[in-house]
């Protein structure tokens, strides 16, 4: 079989060797020192990774715009390495760190990131930033139905984000108004949990003429989420409304 041969001088970027020495990428003791110099109570992990090791992986396996996920964040070495690599090559990599222990997240992962972003001891600031988010209860059960505990604001956050890619506007408070936000000229409404004041089961969750007349006005296209619609397709079209049924037409991701 003909085979393409690529010489080292022809290849772009770095070529990975199978053997990584501790002179090049560090070792556990180095990692412990790194954390110890940042945080007094940071050394609770037996085998933390040195920043140099993760940086090497980023050099080989990421581009300047990569999004890097570490779903076992621990002491936050991955976030630290991403910021360091961005500083080194002017990259714009972003990261998502997931840590299930709230205490570790609050007192170690996020504290380490803050310090390296701002600079500490003799180490210059790496710059960058991060947002600290706390996961709430699941929105859907295993059958795709909305969980009973889900409140209007929980669903509003989910719907607005999955539809627009944007977080819910800060002024939405889930008190009386089903308008959850406007994005790129389109208004998004959510009829759920009797937001319009009708506390009967399903009250106010179905789009009718009366409910439509009560919605806060918007001069432009509207997307309305509700449990059902009594308005015909022509009427919806005439009023520039896209109706989406809860829960089936709510995007999961
Ligand atoms: C060994 S530590 C990671 C250390 C990290 N690589 C470093 O160098 O700093 C693993 C972490 O993953 C967290 N963890 C374990 N299972 C998890 C899960 N299912 N979701 C999120 N975090 C998890 C643990 O709480 C622990 O802090």
For residue 141, is it within any domain?
no
Atom of ligand 1 nearest to the CA of 101: 25
Q: Taking the mean position of all CA atoms in its chain, how far away is CA 156? A: 16
Atom of ligand 1 nearest to the CA of 98: 21
Q: Give residue 24's domain range.
A: 14-118
Residue 49 in contact with residue 33, Cβ under 8 Å? no
For residue 1, is it within any domain?
no
Q: How far is the CA of 98 from the centre of ligand 1 (A)?
A: 8
Q: Which residues pair with 187 in a beta bridge?
A: 182, 222
For residue 22, is it within any domain?
yes
Longest dimension (CA), the chain: 74
Q: Do residues 24 and 112 both lie within one domain?
A: yes
Q: What angle do CA 97, 159, 73 make, to 5 degrees?
A: 5
Residue nearest to atom 3 of ligand 1 (CA): 74
Q: How far is the CA of 75 from the centre of ligand 1 (A)?
A: 8
For residue 238, is it within any domain?
yes
Q: How far is the CA of 74 from the centre of ligand 1 (A)?
A: 4
Residue nearest to atom 15 of ligand 1 (CA): 72
pLDDT of residue 201: 54
Contact residues of ligand 1, CB 6 A cut-off: 45, 48-49, 71-72, 74-75, 77, 98-101, 104
Atom of ligand 1 nearest to the CA of 75: 9
pLDDT in tens, the chain (253 residues): 999 998 888 877 777 888 999 999 999 999 999 999 999 876 789 999 999 999 999 999 999 999 999 999 999 999 999 999 999 999 999 999 999 999 999 999 999 999 999 999 999 999 999 999 998 888 899 988 899 889 899 999 999 999 999 999 888 887 778 999 999 999 999 999 877 766 565 567 899 998 999 999 999 999 999 999 999 999 999 999 999 999 889 987 7
Quote the number of domains for the chain: 2
Alpha-carbon distances, residue 90 vs 13, 79, 83, 127, 183 (angstroms):
15, 16, 10, 11, 32
For residue 162, is it within any domain?
yes
Q: Are strands 206-207 and 94-97 parallel, antiparallel or unpaired?
A: unpaired
Tens digits of per-residue pLDDT, 158-215? Answer: 999 999 999 998 888 877 789 999 999 999 999 998 777 665 655 678 999 989 999 9
**What is the CATH classification number for the domain harbouring 53?**
3.40.50.150
Q: Do residues 109 and 182 both lie within one domain?
A: no
For residue 218, is it within any domain?
yes
pLDDT of residue 176: 77
Of 71, 101, 118, which marks where a domain is finished? Answer: 118
For residue 136, is it within any domain?
no
For residue 86, is it within any domain?
yes
Of 118, 135, 162, which marks where a domain is finished? Answer: 118
Of 118, 143, 173, which marks where a domain is finished? Answer: 118
pLDDT of residue 244: 97
């Amino acid at each position: 079989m003909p085979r393409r041969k690529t010489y080292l001088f022809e290849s772009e970027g770095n070529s990975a060797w199978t053997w990584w020495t501790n002179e090049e990428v560090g070792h556990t003791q180095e990692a412990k020192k790194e954390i110890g110099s940042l945080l007094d109570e940071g050394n609770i992990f037996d085998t933390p990774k040195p920043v140099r090791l993760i940086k090497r992986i980023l050099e080989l396996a990421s581009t300047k715009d990569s999004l890097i996920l570490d779903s076992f964040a621990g002491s936050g070495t991955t976030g630290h390495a991403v910021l360091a690599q961005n500083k080194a090559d002017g990259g714009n990599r972003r990261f998502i760190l997931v840590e299930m222990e709230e205490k570790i997240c609050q007192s170690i992962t996020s504290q380490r990131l803050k310090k390296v972003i701002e600079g500490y001891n003799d180490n210059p600031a790496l710059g960058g930033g991060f947002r600290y988010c706390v996961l709430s209860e699941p929105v859907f059960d295993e059958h795709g139905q909305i969980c009973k505990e889900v409140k209007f604001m929980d669903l509003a956050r989910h719907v607005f984000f999955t539809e627009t890619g944007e977080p819910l506007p800060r002024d939405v408070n889930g008190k009386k108004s089903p308008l959850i936000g406007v994005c790129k000229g389109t208004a998004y409404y959510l009829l759920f949990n009797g937001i319009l004041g009708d506390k009967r089961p399903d009250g106010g969750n179905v789009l009718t003429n009366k409910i439509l007349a009560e919605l806060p006005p918007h001069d432009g296209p509207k997307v309305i989420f509700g449990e059902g619609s009594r308005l015909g397709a022509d009427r919806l079209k005439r009023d520039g409304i896209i109706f989406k049924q809860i829960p089936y037409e709510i995007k999961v991701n």
